Structure 1
Amino acid sequence: MESPLFAFPLASAVLFVIIDLTLWQWVDARHLRWKMLVRLVLFALFSASLMDGGLSPLFPVPEGFTPARHTLATLLAIVWWLFGARTLTALAVVILEPRIGGKGHLLQDLMGALFFLIAVVGAAAYILDIPVKGLLATSGAVAIILGLAVQSTLGDVFSGIVLNATKPFRVDDVICVDDIEGKVIEIDWRSTYLLTSAGSMVVIPNAMAAKTRIVNLTRPGHFYAVTLTIELPVRLRPSLVLDSLEKALQGCRELLAKPKGGAVVKNSGLRSVEYEVTGYVKSRDRRGAVRNQLYDLIYRQLAASEPLRQEQLLSKPSSRQSAVLNSVGALRMLNDEARGGLENFMHLKSFAVGTVVLHQGVVPDALMIVESGVMTVAVERPEGWCEVGRMGPGEVMGETGFIDHTPTLARFTAMSECMVYCIARADLDPWLDEHSEIRGALAGLARYRAQARATMLQQYKPADQVQSGFLHWLRRRVSRVEPPQ
């Protein structure tokens, strides 16, 4: 018994084509594999309908058909070739999707163009019975003429093919091409489109991108460089400047320990020396903030270095202690008379690398001001010591001993060779009674550090483990049983 589906084979073939076009347009693209499976089934049914109607895509339409039926059969035979090319293109997309991630459209377009070119030639040769050799010869001559006319465009197209094959960058990568930095948002037949940090669109021809140097800032993605250029007077000794720059790198907690950053002399002139400072961060989005922090740390370390300090003392008569007091934000409100009185109580101490300057849990008996060097601040946790911050020139330690006589909340250790001014509590207490505003400033500093410590420890708080399994379910069920009254 003949199936009702093939009672009218040509009409059934038209119906299958309409169903395929409708489903492909309306079904969600997330179900690409199911769409591909349905298309293969519809293509098989479409082919079976043509065969049942006495048609073969490899032979011309039989002469016995009526003119209307002959025209419809010819169109359906041509559609079979185009339908097959479209099915092969979609199948190639499904196969290549895990590799290209759905973002490499150029390779898909080239494969689709090749499949459709074969389909057009096949339909012309088998269905329309056109001499293919003459057609290919004519199309070859036309291709040569067009190739000469659009030589630059073809260069961009083939360069795009090379870029898609070698994949030096992909969509969503941040690259630098010819000193232009931006995020790749699209790669088409001719050009690569970059979105810069200023929000502008940069269109780079593929031929240019293939010939120039490409720096991919996204891959390998383990770390990102932060580079600064500092220009200083030539009279400053380079070894002392490099030491200050290294201390500034140590003082920036966000910089990675591996790979280790460094500072080098980049260029030297008659009046100035140019230094390059390089560090590495984990997140590309933090480069700007770390760069600003490094500039501030470099300024403070250079200001605390011996050459600049001597230069400042020669240009403006003042003591070494006064320069340190001016660098402390909580003490800048002092007038010259009060500063002179406080300088008499300041005693300079030196601490080697690794020396604990102030232990955790100890009531400080002196106020300490860092003149030079880097201090690391750590708190004790069950799993060990955890670093919560770093300190540089002009920062204060031990303020809790003068506010409410409470012990310190952290341990302060010299990360580099440090010079620290100490003011004993016995000398400072009477002086603070006369300057209550300084005591209030130290109290505000203590509150700020306590809040910062609490916030930092909250980030390291381990997440509660969710218990699962049969025993946990059994305990929960037993705990819900109420005891008898």
Structure 2
Amino acid sequence: MDLMKLPHPLFWTAAILVADLILWRLISETRSHWKIAIRSALFLMFSAGLLGAGLTPLNTVPDQFDGAEHTLATTLAIAWWLFGARAITGLMILLLESRIERKGHLLQDLIGAGVFLVALVAAAAYILDLPVKGLLATSGAVAIILALAVQSTLADVFSGIVLNATKPFRVDDVINIDGVEGKVVEIDWRSTYLLTSAGSMVVIPNAMAAKTRIVNLSRPDHFHSVTVTVELPVRLRPASVLDSLTKALKGCRELMSEPEGSAVVTKSGLRSVEYEITGYVHSRDRRGIARNQLHDLIYRQLAASESVRQSSAHPVATTRQLAALDSVSALRTLSSEDRLELEQHMRLSSYPAGAVILELAVVPDALLIVESGVVTVTMERSDGPYELGRMGPGELMGEGGVISESPTAVRFTALTDCVIYRVDRTDITATFDEHSELRRALVELVRTRTKAREPLLQHRPLEDTPTGLLHWFRGRVNKPRDAGKIRRS
């Protein structure tokens, strides 16, 4: 029979099928929701077209179709099952989108394969009227033979299913599998792909990944550990060392206050004792910065510890006051005669944790040098107190009062027990005329700190603009009243 005389519903259903293929190609992958919605709508229209043409996909093609009509009707009826399988697969993936990731193709492929297998068997049974039981029995025997032949591959596939279901790691996580560390870039049917820090790609079979120990370095995602190991001579008293390490942890501003870091002895030998310091940061990207700060703070706190100095194997040629002066980077330009003169006026004082060393808006009457401990520096902003930074051994306070008798713009508080040297302002100003390098060093320190503080003082908190239906309703109610008042005036 001439194809031009075919019933119109068959033409329309075929046109809908072609339109689906074209639109699926044209719509961008970023609009997956639109693609699935349009495909579902076209599938309903396709079903309505088949029913209008007198075709039922649950039965064989009626005898009223013959020749070319019968071939086209059979093709469209089989296409209905495949079309439905594609639509159902898309909807299932959309519903499980939060569970299976866009880059993890394994579960998506398994869902699609299972739905299409059911659709093919149903089309063979309902449309072609084939003996499905014999077909399934034959395919089962073939499947057993193939399974024995590809046993290792199937182990990887099923291990991949387990990994995707239990999700010990996801795409973009940084993991360590059997000593291999890298970023997960893809999980397919057989393997997991890791991108290492060296830029190389490591392919790990899923069966191996499922059997070995997996360390996920990206979870929990709200904090990440930073570990530093220090080996010190056995002559140093562990209690004093641990106290210095704890102060170094508190002095590192990169570390989170919760969970709190810790310092422990991990190994003790005849010549050395090994200590492990652990803290936590918000982001993995900050671990290197925090580790570098910890090493510097550990060195400074240990150098400032009295017990460490007393147990030193080499005799110290300088006094305790000169050692504190030598640790101040701002005073390194001073000559040895100037430091010796300052040493005569240094007075030792101690502050317990929580004590205010310098209050806000007061004129310091002395230059303060931190010998040991951690000092937190806070400033008042419009949104409340803000921690500007933390100070450790070898840092100065009160330089503004010594130079120009200006009040402090921040508050200095002892975060831990602190030992601080004081040099009265009168004793320092008496030497300014003779030693101008001291004045220059303090003036430069004041200028640097003021420049760093100015942008933070100008901070303005973000005002929350009220939104929502209630705010809109209030605005609509108040507008007529305001307008009436204006008109009456």
**Structure-1-length-normalised TM-score:** 0.88
Q: Distance in 1 between matches of 2:335 and 2:69?
A: 107
Counterpart residue type for residue 461 of structure 2 = P
Compute the displacement of 1:340 (Å): 2.2
Paired positions, count = 476
Q: Where does residue 317 of structure 1 map in the other structure?
A: 317
CA displacement 1:350-394 (0-9 Å, x = unmatched): 222222222222222221111111112223456654432211100
Compute the displacement of 1:343 (Å): 1.7
Q: Distance in 1 between matches of 2:420 and 2:367?
A: 10
Moved more, 461-470 or 262-271: 461-470
Q: Distance in 2 between matches of 1:221 and 1:385?
A: 28
Counterpart residue type for residue 358 of structure 1 = L
Compute the displacement of 1:303 (Å): 0.8
* Residue aligned with 1:406, SS: coil
Compute the displacement of 1:419 (Å): 1.5
* Residue aligned with 1:378, SS: strand
* Residue aligned with 2:390, SS: strand
Assess, with a 3 A threshold, how the Cα gap between structure 1 residues 185 and 129 changes in structure 2: closer, same or farther: same
Q: Where does residue 161 of structure 2 map in the other structure?
A: 161
Compute the displacement of 1:51 (Å): 4.3
Q: Where does residue 192 of structure 1 map in the other structure?
A: 192
Compute the displacement of 1:432 (Å): 2.6
Moved more, 123-132 or 337-346: 123-132
RMSD, aligned CA: 3.0
Q: Where does residue 38 of structure 1 map in the other structure?
A: 38
Report if the CA contact (8 A) 1:6-1:12 is conserved.
no
Q: Distance in 2 between matches of 1:407 and 1:471?
A: 51
Q: Where does residue 178 of structure 1 map in the other structure?
A: 178
Q: Distance in 2 between matches of 1:473 and 1:62?
A: 70
Report if the CA contact (8 A) 2:248-2:301 is conserved.
yes
Counterpart residue type for residue 96 of structure 1 = L
Q: Distance in 2 between matches of 1:115 and 1:61?
A: 23
Q: Is 1:470 equivalent to 2:475 in the alignment?
A: yes
Compute the displacement of 1:130 (Å): 3.4
Compute the displacement of 1:327 (Å): 0.7
Q: Distance in 1 between matches of 2:149 and 2:196?
A: 33
Q: Where does residue 257 of structure 2 map in the other structure?
A: 257
Q: Distance in 2 between matches of 1:310 and 1:415?
A: 25
* Residue aligned with 1:434, SS: coil
Q: Where does residue 437 of structure 2 map in the other structure?
A: 437
Q: Where does residue 350 of structure 2 map in the other structure?
A: 350
Moved more, 411-420 or 99-108: 99-108
Q: Is 1:22 equivalent to 2:27 in the alignment?
A: no
Q: Distance in 1 between matches of 2:10 and 2:452?
A: 78
Q: Where does residue 288 of structure 1 map in the other structure?
A: 288
* Residue aligned with 1:387, SS: strand
* Residue aligned with 2:226, SS: strand
Counterpart residue type for residue 463 of structure 1 = L
Q: Where does residue 90 of structure 1 map in the other structure?
A: 90
Structure-to-structure mapping, 1:229-244, within 5 angstroms: 229-244=229-244
Q: Where does residue 74 of structure 1 map in the other structure?
A: 74
Counterpart residue type for residue 475 of structure 2 = F
CA displacement 1:145-166 (0-9 Å, x = unmatched): 2212222221121112112222
Q: Distance in 1 between matches of 2:98 and 2:73?
A: 39
Counterpart residue type for residue 470 of structure 1 = G
Structure-to-structure mapping, 1:370-381, within 5 angstroms: 370-381=370-381
Moved more, 164-173 or 275-284: 164-173
Report if the CA contact (8 A) 1:6-1:52 is conserved.
no
Counterpart residue type for residue 38 of structure 1 = I
Q: Distance in 2 between matches of 1:256 and 1:98?
A: 30
Q: Distance in 2 between matches of 1:454 and 1:54?
A: 81
Assess, with a 3 A threshold, how the Cα gap between structure 1 residues 314 and 345 changes in structure 2: closer, same or farther: farther
Q: Where does residue 216 of structure 1 map in the other structure?
A: 216
Moved more, 95-104 or 435-444: 95-104
Assess, with a 3 A threshold, how the Cα gap between structure 1 residues 123 and 379 changes in structure 2: closer, same or farther: closer
* Residue aligned with 2:21, SS: helix
Q: Distance in 1 between matches of 2:414 and 2:145?
A: 76
Q: Distance in 2 between matches of 1:267 and 1:296?
A: 22
Q: Where does residue 335 of structure 2 map in the other structure?
A: 335
* Residue aligned with 1:431, SS: coil
Q: Where does residue 57 of structure 2 map in the other structure?
A: 57
Identity of aligned residues (%): 61
Q: Which runs of 5+ in 2 are unaligned?
A: none
Report if the CA contact (8 A) 2:374-2:393 is conserved.
yes
Q: Where does residue 227 of structure 2 map in the other structure?
A: 227
Counterpart residue type for residue 162 of structure 2 = V
Q: Where does residue 366 of structure 1 map in the other structure?
A: 366
Compute the displacement of 1:262 (Å): 0.9
**Structure-2-length-normalised TM-score:** 0.87
Report if the CA contact (8 A) 1:313-1:319 is conserved.
no
Q: Distance in 1 between matches of 2:66 and 2:463?
A: 79
Moved more, 41-50 or 389-398: 41-50
Q: Distance in 1 between matches of 2:271 and 2:302?
A: 18
Q: Which runs of 5+ in 1 are unaligned?
A: none
Assess, with a 3 A threshold, how the Cα gap between structure 1 residues 411 and 43 changes in structure 2: closer, same or farther: closer
Report if the CA contact (8 A) 1:6-1:49 is conserved.
no
Counterpart residue type for residue 106 of structure 2 = L
Report if the CA contact (8 A) 1:89-1:111 is conserved.
yes
Assess, with a 3 A threshold, how the Cα gap between structure 1 residues 424 and 54 changes in structure 2: closer, same or farther: closer
Q: Is 1:107 equivalent to 2:107 in the alignment?
A: yes
Report if the CA contact (8 A) 2:334-2:437 is conserved.
no
Assess, with a 3 A threshold, how the Cα gap between structure 1 residues 42 and 373 changes in structure 2: closer, same or farther: closer
Compute the displacement of 1:54 (Å): 4.9
Q: Is 1:302 equivalent to 2:302 in the alignment?
A: yes
Q: Distance in 2 between matches of 1:48 and 1:382?
A: 66
Q: Distance in 1 between matches of 2:97 and 2:411?
A: 54
Assess, with a 3 A threshold, how the Cα gap between structure 1 residues 274 and 102 changes in structure 2: closer, same or farther: same
Assess, with a 3 A threshold, how the Cα gap between structure 1 residues 473 and 219 changes in structure 2: closer, same or farther: farther
Counterpart residue type for residue 462 of structure 2 = A
